[in-house]
Amino acid sequence: MPTSPHILLAAPNVRKMQTNLANLLSHASIVSIEGAITENVVQLYRLGRNHYLFARRQTNRDWRQKISRFYYGAYNVSRSVRLAHNGEFNTDVSDHKKIESLPPGFPNTALYQNQLIALREDRNLCDYDHTSSITSLALDVVSTESLVTNFLVDARTFLASKGITL
């Protein structure tokens, strides 16, 4: 959670803030804001990647943790992409429902939208439903790993196309 002073707390949407200050601030200041946004994009992506790498190390015996961490891997990478694209950043629980909101130009959008919704439901089931078993998952563990792996790769390519090197 960022604490003040922090670029992501400067306005509800830092991209909009950056655009609206364009005539007031010097070019160097605008570039500096861009740099701070990019830094957060990179950190969010890395956070997602850490969850992903942790998930990969888990065995299927720990399927609840494995799916849950894969979900957080995808969720934080989705946040990273959304921040880069339109300055969207939110720590509210409702932001989880935006995991599938991907920007235009992101590859295989329908696939990711559909599968990330299923992953979010699977994660809820893993973390909160004591009656569920591994067969309750909509996407099995192998499919989930493949989905998140591809999502991270596509997100990296997409961010690179926006000039953000991870």
Partner 1 sequence: MNVSNALEPTVISEFARISGLKNPDFEVKPRLDGNAVIIRIAEPSERFFQAALDVSNEAESSGITSVTIKKGMPKNRLQSPEARYFLRTLSESLNINRFSFGDDFFARYTRSVSNAEDQILARANHVVYGRRGAGKSSLLLYAMRSRQNEGEFSAWIDMQVFERRNDPAVAIDIFLEVFRQVAESSTLKPEIQLLETELKRIKAEGQNDENRLRLMLPSIRNSLASIGKMFIFLDDFHVLDIDAQPKILGLLYSVTRGNNIFLKLSAIETLTRTWNTKDHAGLQIPQDAQTIKLDYNLTVPERASEHIEGILDAHAKYCGLPSVKFLCNSPDVLARLVWVSAGVPRDALNMFTQAITKATSNNRTRVAVSDVNMATSEMVSQKMRELDVDLAGSPDRPAISKVLDGIKDFCVKQQKKNAFLIEIRNSDPLYQDVLKLVDLRLLHVISEGVTVGEAGRKYLALILDYGLYTGVRAAPSVDLFNKAMQRVGRKELRTLPILKKIDTSTS
Q: Which of 44, 62, 68 is nearest to 121 (CA)?
A: 68
Non-local (6+) Cβ contacts of 33 within 8 A are 7, 14, 17, 18, 21, 25
118 binds partner 1 (CB under 8 A): yes
CB of 128 to partner 1, least distance (A): 6
Q: Is 68 in the site for partner 1 (CB under 8 A)?
A: no
Smallest CA-to-CA distance from 47 within 102, 108, 2 is with: 2
Q: Which of 40, 76, 78, 115 binds partner 1 (CB under 8 A)?
A: 115
Q: Residue 35 and residue 30: Cα distance in Å, rounded?
A: 9
Smallest distance, partner 1 to C-beta of residue 94, A: 15
Tell me which residue has tokens 């439901």.
Answer: 121
- C-alpha 114: how far from its chain's center? 15
**Residue 56 beta carbon to partner 1: minimum distance, rounded to whole angstroms:** 20
Compare residues 18 and 115 and give the one whose CB is closer to partner 1: 115
For the window 136-165, what string marks contact with partner 1 as x by the rule CB under 8 A?
Answer: x-xx---x----------------------
Q: Which of 125, 141, 148, 159 binds partner 1 (CB under 8 A)?
A: 125
Longest CA span, the chain: 58
Asked whether the beta carbons of 134 and 141 are under 8 A apart, the reply is yes
Which residues would be at the binding site for partner 1 (CB under 8 A)? 108-111, 113-115, 117-118, 121, 124-125, 128-129, 136, 138-139, 143
